[in-house]
Amino acid sequence: MKRGLFGTLILLVIIAALIIIAWPQIGPNLKSGGCQQLENQIQNNLNSSNYCTQDSDCVALNLGCQLGCFAFVNKNADLNILGNLTNVYIDSGCKVCNELCIKMPDQSEIICSGGKCQIKAGN
């Protein structure tokens, strides 16, 4: 029992430390245009994460309806900062979502075209 509690405590300390370290990069002042700034950072990160040389490089990333439901990215892209930005954006209530997302595309529907991941035409 003590071992499990100790492990949980260590995990919480690590998570808290990561948040403290990452906050200067992901914690814009949301009261002064921060939501738009955050959305721009997310979009820039998505754009730089969308690269490929073959179809198998690509995956669909669930973003939630606040950010357009999903985006296509390289399966090897570093998505840690993107995940943090997305969580702050959603948790901060930057955009209220009143619609449901369509079903995410199956892997067989995602292709690499012109060095970018995208959905097959006609899907």
Q: How high is the pLDDT of residue 13?
A: 55
- How much is the average pLDDT of 68-84? 90
- The per-residue pLDDT for range 85-115, each reduced to its tens digit, is 888 888 888 887 777 888 889 999 999 999 9
Residue 69 structural domain: 2-119
What would the mean pLDDT of 49-71 be, rounded to a whole number? 92
Q: Name the amino acid, one letter, at 67.
A: L
Burial of residue 51 (CB within 10 Å: 0-12, 13-18, 19+) is middle
- Round to whole Å and give the CA distance between 123 and 103: 11
DSSP β-ladder status, 69-74 and 110-113? unpaired
pLDDT, the chain, mean: 80
Q: What is the pLDDT of residue 9?
A: 58
Into how many domains does the chain fold?
Answer: 1
**Tokens (6 digits) for 13:** 């300390």
Average pLDDT over residues 46-56: 96
